[in-house]
Structure 1
Amino acid sequence: MKFLVLACLVAFAAAASARAQRGGYTEIYDTIDLDEILSNRRLLVPYLQCVLGEGKCTPPGKELKSHIKEALETQCGKCSPAQVKGTRRVISHLINHEADYWNKLTAKYDPNGQFTKKYENELRTQV
């Protein structure tokens, strides 16, 4: 039994070390309820203001703000699968329901449209 516990700890440590070496983003906020945030502008707008530098940031907002440019440039290369899925949901929501904020974000983080055009073409809802 002690061997099994030790083996599990070693495996966990190895996995954590591999993730750190790969330089992935923290997964601590991967369980945030995006449905709740996206469906409630009172929750959504402060996140948007944070990443735009127009308002205060919560800890998850600070984390997002610190990585948003790099994540766009690398197509979320350091993101976990949950982060990729969540990022696509948020971007889709912004493109289709918060165009003003989407335009402000692209102007700030991708003024030449080099990285965001792909998302716009792929995630825009056909009306």
Structure 2
Amino acid sequence: MNLILFTVVATIGYATAQSEQYTDRYDSLRIDDVLANKRLTAAYIKCMLEKGKCTAEGRELKSHITEALQNGCSKCTQKQLAGVKKVIKHLINKENAYWVELTDMYDPKKEYRHKYERELKSL
């Protein structure tokens, strides 16, 4: 009986933990290819800034961006976390105007901006 109860509790805990992560549906998106293509990067940025159309991936990202900034991407998969770090580093170091626009929109009080800049500028 204890084994059955443990199994049920473990299964519920696992299911809850899984639902606490963002979807991994777009984890196959090739971040390096997007960042290497200025036009594609600009399209994603315009989506985030509500200045252009969004792809399905863009809409998904936009729906979680504020929460992810606030909680350090704690609901991200490992692949998403690595991708987020890569994108933020790229924006800070190579597309800083976009970084400023995005943080002005999603972090107007600059609560998280400086934290990520310190963490990722040196990488």
What's the TM-score bracket when you normalise by the shorter of the two chains? 0.7 to 0.9
Aligned twin of 2:71? 74
Equivalent position of 2:18 in the other structure: 19
4+ residue stretches of structure 1 with deviation over 6 A?
none
Give the drift of 1:18: 3.9
- RMSD over aligned CA atoms reads 2.0
From 26, 30, 41, the equivalent of 1:29 is 26
CA separation of 1:121/1:15 partners in 2, compared to 1, >3 Å: closer, same or farther?
Answer: same
Say whether 1:56 aligns with 2:53. yes
Measure, in 2, the Cα distance between the counterparts of 1:84 and 1:125.
17
Which TM-score applies when normalising by structure 1?
A: 0.82
1: CA distance between counterparts of 2:109 and 2:93? 20
Paired letter, 1:85 = A
1:85-123 per-residue CA deviation (whole Å, 9 max, x = no partner) reads 100000000000111110000100001111121111121
Match for residue 8 of structure 1?
A: none
Partner of 2:42, secondary structure, is helix
| Partner secondary structure for residue 121 of structure 1 | helix
Aligned residue for 1:87? Answer: 84
Contact 1:96 1:125 in 2 (8 A): no
**What code does the residue aligned with 2:72 have?**
Q
**Residue aligning to 1:123:** 120
Shift in Å, 1:16? 5.6
Matched position secondary structure for 2:25: coil
- Counting matched residue pairs gives 113
Structure 2 counterpart of 1:37, which letter?
V
Shift of 1:17: 5.8
Q: Cα offset for 1:48?
A: 0.3
Q: Which runs of 5+ in 2 are unaligned?
A: 1-12
